[in-house]
Amino acid sequence: MRCGTLEVYLGNALMSLWKKLFDSSDKNRVDYYEEGLQLMGVGKYHEALTSFRLALRESPHDATVLQQIAITYTRIGMTDEAIKTYRAVLEKDPGASGAHYGIAFLMLKAGKPTDAMGHLRSFWNNHPSGPEAQRHITHARETLAQLASDVRSSEAL
């Protein structure tokens, strides 16, 4: 190759790489959020966390991505990080029912039933709809009823 031809070839190769990495219109671009969901679905939580972090880099203010990161932290046992991340979600979107649901059960595990009740009530007041959400709604309702019963029992003493 002549020097000029090599420069054109390298220029085209670099431009192609640049477009693959940074051009949002490129069909070959990785959807890190979807990749993270797929990895979560097969139990590859650490890999999913990496994908969700990359998705968050692309959309730093996306509460949905943050919520998936919190769920992933919960699944790998990093509950302190999960709580911090759920709180970050709630700062961005105070009505995020999934974040209220997730943090409520982490609060229960941490021995903070009063905090858990507050988050379960927030979830209940703004819960999602649909058949997929029904088991979470039922679980929240039953847990809230049990916590309320526990409070009444302790007040009676």
Residue 70 carries which side chain, given as an amino acid letter? A
Residue 77 near residue 45, CB atoms below 8 Å: no
Between CA 65 and CA 98 the distance in angstroms is: 12
| More confidently predicted of 153 and 101 | 101
Q: What is the pTM of this model?
A: 0.76
Q: What is the mean pLDDT of residues 75-90?
A: 97
Between CA 157 and CA 154 the distance in angstroms is: 5
- The domains of the chain are located at 29-151
The pLDDT of residue 131 is above 80: yes
Between CA 68 and CA 50 the distance in angstroms is: 11
Q: How many residues does the chain have?
A: 157
| More confidently predicted of 64 and 131 | 64
| More confidently predicted of 57 and 21 | 57
End-to-end CA distance of the chain: 90
The pLDDT of residue 108 is above 90: yes
Q: What angle do CA 8, 9, 12 make, to 5 degrees?
A: 85
Task: Report the pLDDT value the prediction gives residue 36, as an integer from 0 to 100.
Answer: 95
| More confidently predicted of 145 and 25 | 145
CATH number belonging to domain 29-151 = 1.25.40.10
Instruction: Print the SS3 string covering 12-40.
Output: HHHHHHHHHHHCCCCCCCCCHHHHHHHHH
Which residue is it, tokens 């054109």? Answer: 8
**Encoding tokens for residue 42?**
């097969």
| More confidently predicted of 44 and 9 | 44
The pLDDT of residue 91 is above 90: yes
Q: What is the mean pLDDT of residues 41-62?
A: 95
Between CA 17 and CA 92 the distance in angstroms is: 34
